Amino acid sequence: MPQFSLIEDYSLDIILLTHCHLDHLGALPVIAERNPNAHILTSLPSKLLAPRMLYNSHAVMKRQRDELGIKEYPLYTSSQIDALEKRLSPMPFDKPRIFDDKGESLEITFYQAGHVAGASGCSLTYKHRKIFFTGDVLFEKQRVISGANFPEQPCDTLVMETTRGNTELTPNYSREDEIERLRTTIVHTLEHEGSVLIPVFALGRMQELLTFFHEWNKANKLPKVPIFCSGLGISLVDTFDEISRKTGLIHFRRKILHELGVKPFRKRLKAGETPDEKAIYLVSSGMMTENTPSYTTAAALLGNHHNTVCFVGYCDPDTPGGKLLASQQNDNFLFEALDYNCPIRAHIEQFDLSGHANREELLSFAQKLDPRAVVLTHGDPEARDWFFDELIAYSPKTKIINPPPGIAIDV
């Protein structure tokens, strides 16, 4: 939970939800209830996605309360989710909305941020001062959504994400080449009687990967094997279909599941078990969090050199996914939650298909906006440090703020 105690003396007038990944959405039912009169603004796709994500999170927390004895879970009730759903006020992209109060006015505009369906950057103008929040952003276009469409007029304060500040871009990098490398890795594994595990976020990555599979399938470039997907990702497919039909903001249709013959991931494999037939497991969580489908499937596949694990997104170093990426072939890998230890025989591959902008693009975006102050958010300390050094070197007069957690800052 965020440290809401720091803002308990204030009543909030407006809450902006940039997108529905849980690091942004997860505590919204709680703060919304504490501020019953606040306007809660988000994009239309996010309004449709938020309840699904929260209901899933609620179910996971209930299970964790029972299995792990975490007494404070769930952090909110299902009726709090319902109450929140009614209050989410959809904002179109690129159209300002003005809020007046006591003779003062605040103008808010949402802009498409790429990253994931519904993701938004927001600009706030108050007394001729303009603040721009990037939220999580990807400038490059994906199959399911377009890239960010941010304004490039100057602003006074820029609040910017820095997720990839510590990631150097590979020379001659191309997303299309990475997608093709992923395809050949999958095909090679299947042709050599192995199975493929791709740990993914249920929101965004899974639907993007399904779109690749669908393209390859149509072009006869993917062997026909069962594709297993975990529950939340499949249920989000319905919402993606609805968003696609209602808004045209994303390109995704439910029928892809049928055409690919996707099967729900129901029965978890036992540690060390060889699946009955070779298959593709496109399952969450993306970082192989303990006891998720990707974690238990890894425990089944890791000990066999025919199999491959393909990571397609960021893994925190402290998660099982991060630890597996840091290991070497033939090291022993401990699945702590299963009390199972096995040597790494499967191939471990990583593909750069990130949902976050690379650091050079974000840097040049910041330089174009030429703000008086930049506030760095959402990255590890090393990632924020890189942006701090680059921005200071480029524009010594700009105030660069690398805010410590829990401290109010003055811009």
Q: Which of 303, 312, 311 is nearest to 335 (CA)?
A: 303
Q: Which two tokens stand for residue 47?
A: 């309004």
Shortest distance, position 25 Cβ to Zn ion, whole Å: 9
Decide the pairing of beta strands 120-126 and 129-133: antiparallel
Q: What phi and psi values does residue 44 have, to the nearest 5 degrees? A: -60, -45
Chain mean position to CA 101:
35
Tell me if 21 contacts Zn ion by CB under 5 A: yes
Question: Which residue of this chain has its Cβ atom nearest to Zn ion in the complex?
Answer: 21
Tell me if 208 contacts Zn ion by CB under 5 A: no
Binding mask 122-151 for Zn ion (x = CB under 5 A): --------------x---------------
E strands, 290-331, where?
308-311
Determine contact, residues 250/48, Cβ cutoff 8 Å.
no
- In this complex, which beta carbon is closest to Zn ion, that of residue 223 or of residue 403? 403
Binding mask 288-327 for Zn ion (x = CB under 5 A): ----------------------------------------
Shortest distance, position 354 Cβ to Zn ion, whole Å: 11
- In this complex, which beta carbon is closest to Zn ion, that of residue 117 or of residue 302? 117
Shortest distance, position 360 Cβ to Zn ion, whole Å: 20
Please identify, among the stretches 19-27, 167-175, 254-262, 388-396, the one whose residues bind Zn ion according to the rule CB under 5 A.
19-27
List, as one string, the DSSP characters of 118-165: T-EEEEEEETTEEEEE--S---S--SSB-------S--SEEEEE-TTT
Shortest distance, position 285 Cβ to Zn ion, whole Å: 14
Shortest distance, position 83 Cβ to Zn ion, whole Å: 24
Cα distance between residue 368 and residue 16, in whole Å: 25
- In this complex, which beta carbon is closest to Zn ion, that of residue 136 or of residue 361? 136
- In this complex, which beta carbon is closest to Zn ion, that of residue 23 or of residue 339? 23
Cα distance between residue 95 and residue 109, in whole Å: 6
Please identify, among the stretches 22-30, 68-76, 166-174, 332-340, the one whose residues bind Zn ion according to the rule CB under 5 A.
22-30
DSSP tag of 345: -
- In this complex, which beta carbon is closest to Zn ion, that of residue 149 or of residue 153? 149
Tell me if 52 contacts Zn ion by CB under 5 A: no
- In this complex, which beta carbon is closest to Zn ion, that of residue 278 or of residue 356? 356
Shortest distance, position 217 Cβ to Zn ion, whole Å: 28
- In this complex, which beta carbon is closest to Zn ion, that of residue 136 or of residue 349? 136
Number of residues that bind Zn ion (CB under 5 A): 3
Contacts of 25 (CB under 8 A, 6+ apart): 17, 19, 50, 53, 54
Q: Which of 271, 243, 225, 268 is nearest to 112 (CA)?
A: 243
- In this complex, which beta carbon is closest to Zn ion, that of residue 88 or of residue 300? 88
Shortest distance, position 312 Cβ to Zn ion, whole Å: 15
Rg over alpha carbons for the chain, rounded to the nearest Å, is 22
Shortest distance, position 256 Cβ to Zn ion, whole Å: 23
Shortest distance, position 182 Cβ to Zn ion, whole Å: 21
Cα distance between residue 101 and residue 253, in whole Å: 42
Please identify, among the stretches 13-21, 171-179, 205-213, 388-396, the one whose residues bind Zn ion according to the rule CB under 5 A.
13-21
Contacts of 117 (CB under 8 A, 6+ apart): 45, 46, 49, 144, 145, 203, 204, 207, 240, 243, 249, 250, 252
β partners of residue 333: 342
With vertex at residue 55, the alpha carbon angle to CA 34 and CA 208, rounded to the nearest 5 degrees, is: 120
- In this complex, which beta carbon is closest to Zn ion, that of residue 23 or of residue 104? 23
Q: What phi and psi values does residue 15 have, to the nearest 5 degrees? A: -120, 130
- In this complex, which beta carbon is closest to Zn ion, that of residue 22 or of residue 392? 22
Shortest distance, position 378 Cβ to Zn ion, whole Å: 6
- Which member of 8, 9, 23, 67 binds Zn ion (CB under 5 A)? 23
Binding site for Zn ion (CB under 5 A): 21, 23, 136
